[in-house]
Structure 1
């Protein structure tokens, strides 16, 4: 899709959305380097000063695009969950498949949304990230052993899915048959939540705050 294909009828209260969509298009077509306020405004069919009224410069635009990216990322996982095997283990594997599919289909956006440090953040961007995380948390819940913090199991699954997706995008795998390789690697999920196989000793309070509550 070229810049000329995005027309100009974005002046009826949807300008912010139009600018975000323009930014997503630029990101998809040219990567992070192509994303500028001026190009985004031109693609949306507005003056180059318009983005300043909606975003705090380019960082603000990037955050708004990332918020939309988190929403789409969540939808990929939820859609994969719905279409997959309807067992606890099947749903867990399905969301990791959705995770990889999003990374493959949205390379630049995937890198953008995981390029922000959400530590200690309580703004809308952090909320979008936590919202996208919910499918993983929910699908991991059935595999959390008694006395183990949920974050332990979630981190195991998340690290496996994100590590594979990141290595795939970096072209680090020797095999072009990524689907078969992915399925083989994800058999490791069969051991998630099994106390004898995941080395839980000493991790029961990991991620817990004062009084044993999750942090």
Structure 2
């Protein structure tokens, strides 16, 4: 049973569930995935080690919730970039890709967790599924002007997603070292110029 003290402490974060998710985000940024445990989240949120059981089905449930929050943040970043860009299809597409890359670069542990959770057999809670779908919809909607008549939308979406996700992943895992002459993200996104706008 959650104590009144735990409720009071969690209130500083909105509620206990929010406090635990925020604690998980903080631990991820500070210590990486290996530093993320239920006990550490509870301690950082200022509640007992048993408190997370009231809201999450063990660590996998908490990881799903943190990943879902990550996808919401991810979608927010891409949408904000698209809105700030010139309102023409190619500029908006480049903008969401830059937002995608910057989010991955700035939140490497969270980015890794998000995709591991949503693609894992043990993950993909309903909340995570909704958040992941929202983020993918930003990509799909921005790719839509480049889908040619008779073409499956997934073709263009996969081309763009592969380009930016692949580049971001290569950077994060250190395969594009500083001592190599490599293309910048804007150079890589130059390949988007090969996409034709649908009439």
Do the two structures share a fold, i.e. TM-score over 0.5?
Answer: yes
Query: Which digits, 9 at most, give the CA deviation of each residue in 1:95-146, with x for residues without a partner?
Result: 0000000001101000000103278x67221111001111111110000001
Aligned to 1:47: 48
- For structure 1, the 5+ residue unaligned runs are 1-7, 196-215
Is 2:32 the counterpart of 1:31? yes
Pairs within 5 Å for 1:69-148: 69-116=70-117, 117=119, 123-148=126-151
- Secondary structure of 1:159's partner? helix
User: Displacement of 1:192 after TM fit?
Assistant: 1.9
Greater fraction helix: 2
- For structure 2, the 5+ residue unaligned runs are 1-7
User: Displacement of 1:84 after TM fit?
Assistant: 2.1
Distance 1:75 1:15 in 2: 24
The TM-score normalised by the length of structure 1 is 0.80
Query: Which digits, 9 at most, give the CA deviation of each residue in 1:70-102, with x for residues without a partner?
Result: 000111111111222321000000100000000
- Contact 1:140–1:154 (Cα < 8 Å) also in 2: yes
Across the aligned residues of Structure 1 and Structure 2, the Cα RMSD in angstroms comes to: 2.4
Query: Which digits, 9 at most, give the CA deviation of each residue in 1:51-73, with x for residues without a partner?
Result: 01100000000000001000001
Number of matched residues? 187
Aligned to 2:161: 158
User: Displacement of 1:170 after TM fit?
Assistant: 1.0
Distance 2:188 2:37 in 1: 38
Relative CO higher for 1 or 2, CA cutoff 8 Å, sep ≥ 6? 2
Aligned to 1:205: none
Q: Structure 2 vs 1, CA of residues 183 and 170 (structure 1 numbering), >3 Å: closer, same or farther?
A: same
The TM-score normalised by the length of structure 2 is 0.87
- Contact 1:118–1:126 (Cα < 8 Å) also in 2: no
Q: 2:192 aligns with which of 189, 193, 209?
A: 189
Aligned to 2:10: 10
- TM superposition outliers: structure 1 runs of 4+ over 4 Å: 175-180
- Contact 1:74–1:135 (Cα < 8 Å) also in 2: yes
